[in-house]
Structures are given as structure tokens and as C-alpha cells.
A and B are shown apart, each in its own frame.
Chain A
Amino acid sequence: MEENQWLIKQLEELERESRDYRQKALLEATIALLEEQKKRREQLQGELDGTLWSPGNWNI
């Protein structure tokens, strides 16, 4: 997801150049969606870490 940063910059540029208001909104929403996905990934990774470190799940 690191390449998202490059992509987000490109999308921001497109948004600035777009001549259609609804398209501008769509491009901004695309960036917001990519950021939301990133947040969910961090949450799930945290949840997975917590699960892996929980002795209850070690099955010993």
C-alpha cells in the first residue's frame, strides 16, 4: 500500500485539473476510499497481532 502515496498525489492532480464538478467529487472520494482501506488494514493488522500474542490461542 506504500505506492498509494504516489497514486494519491496523481489523483489530487487529476482532481485539480478536472473540468467537471461531479468528477472532482469522485476523485476526492477515491482518495478518501483508499485512505479508509489503509485505516482498515492497520486495524486488522493490529487485531491479528493481538490474536497471535494471545496465550489463549497458542493451543499448548
Chain B
Amino acid sequence: MKTLIIVSHPTVEESGSQQFLIQSLPEDEEITLHILEQTYPDGQIDIEREQALLREHDRILFQFPFYWYSSPPLLKKWQDEVLTDHFAFGYRGTKLHGKEFGLVLVIGLPEKDYQTGGQEGFSISELTKPYQAMAKKTGMTYLKPLTIFQFPYLTETEKKALLIDYQQYLSLPQPISLKRKEEWMLDQLAKTSKDTLPKESAAFVLEAAAEAIEDNRMELDELRLHIDNYDV
């Protein structure tokens, strides 16, 4: 599965959250990072190139700071110009059908503000309706967004957890379940470099961790089987 991350930010080099996400990207040829403001500093979008990129990928993500309940202007311009009739919708406009679409939103206020009665008064699900409608109209499956609230206030542990959530959001089959996370983790533990681990026992510990994850899974499946069998 190939994932295209379309980033829009007026000053991406100066954004701590965007730089963190960019540095978090796995070294994976199946993932394409595409920063609109860097690709088109003059704002002139190459529509054919953009449409070709969309065709080549299976999961399309918009990654941006949530400004006034919407995206920075270049991403809106991109939508207006790239998602054309006969390509994204309308007669024979089926080029995006069957793809997945998701949002990676960086939000300045805390999560608790985005609910009825909260300071913002509306949920993120309500405020992102135009993107949901876009996915619907273009035949894409809308994924649960990855929302990052108040990035500068995250603790070091929360940042590391975000890094993993982000990597999984890019490539894991949806919906993300514990079982899928386990499979992903086993794959990553096998791949992680031993060169950055000075301890001699590193390989042994990594292997033991993989075995424990697998053993635990067997135990969980067995328990589930017993419960289901008693369910009369």
C-alpha cells in the first residue's frame, strides 16, 4: 500500500510540530512526503503532476495546522484546482474511487474545547465535514483522523507515543486494532537497527520481546475462544 502525505503549512521549516512529524517518518519507499509550499513557492500548482501523484497512491493524507477550522490557503487552492470534474467526480471521474483519505491535524487548543458546551462548541468531526464530504464525493473511504492537540505541551513520553501513532497511521490497515499493532510491532522489532544499541544483549532482548508479544497473543486468543464457547 502506498501512502501520499500532502503537507500544507506557510512556514513548514519553522513549525516544531511539522518538523517532528517529518523526522518521524519511517524510511519506507511506500511513503511519499509532499510539501505543497516547498514544491510550489510561487503558488502555481502543476495539476497534471498532482493528479499523477494521486493515482499512484492508495492512502491520501492531508497534514496541516487547523487554521480557522480549515487548512492553510495553498491546500484549499490545491483542492480547487486538482480535484477536477472528470477526474475526481462527475462523468468518468472515478480516479480516486476505492482509495483511503485521512487528516493529520495539528490543533492549537486542547481536545476538551472541541465539544458541545466546550469553548469551541463543536467537535472535530463536525468541523471537518467539508473533508468528509470531499472523500464521499470522490469515492474515497474517510479514515478516523489523527488529531494532535497542543503539540508544544506534550511530554517526552507523549511525543514518543505520537511518533508511533503517526507511523502506524501512515501504513497500518484500518481500522487499527491491537492485533494489527502487534503485527506491526513484530515487524519493526525485526527491522530495527542493532547499530544504535550499544548493549551486547540487545538482539536477545528484542527477540524476547517479540516472543512475549506472540505468546501473549496466543493466550488472548485462547481466552477469547473459551469465552465464545461458553456463550450459549
Contact = CB atoms under 8 A, between A and B. Distances in A.
A12 to B, nearest CB: 10
Nearest to B210: A30
Contacts of B189: 26, 30
Contacts of A59: 232
Contact of B188 (A11, A26, A38): A26
The interface residues of chain B, by DSSP majority, are classed as helix
B178 A14 contact: no
B220 A37 contact: yes
B217 interface: yes
A38 B90 CA distance: 51
Contacts of B161: 25, 28-29, 32
A17 B197 contact: yes
B27 to A, nearest CB: 9
A44 B224 contact: yes
Contacts of A11: 205, 209
Contact of A23 (B23, B193, B212): B193
Contacts of A32: 161
Contact of B160 (A19, A28, A33, A51): A28
A24 B208 contact: no
Contacts, number: 104
The interface size bin for chain B is 35 or more
A23 B213 CA distance: 18
Interface string A5-49: 001001101100111111111101110111011101100110110
A25 to B, nearest CB: 4
Contact of B199 (A3, A13, A33, A56): A13
A16 to B, nearest CB: 10
The interface size bin for chain A is 35 or more
Contacts of B182: 33, 37
B212 A41 contact: no
B229 to A, nearest CB: 9
Given A13-B199, A18-B196, A20-B193, A26 B164 contact: yes
B185 A33 contact: yes
Closest 4 CB pairs of A and B: A25-B160, A44-B223, A20-B196, A37-B216
Interface of A: 1, 3-4, 7, 10-11, 13-14, 17-26, 28-30, 32-34, 36-38, 40-41, 44-45, 47-48, 51-52, 56-57, 59
Interface of B: 23-24, 26, 157, 160-161, 163-164, 178, 181-182, 185, 188-189, 192-193, 196-199, 201-202, 205-206, 208-209, 212-213, 216-217, 219-220, 223-224, 226-227, 230-232
Given A18-B196, A33-B182, A40-B220, 7 more contacts: A10-B205, A23-B193, A25-B160, A25-B163, A28-B160, A29-B161, A48-B223
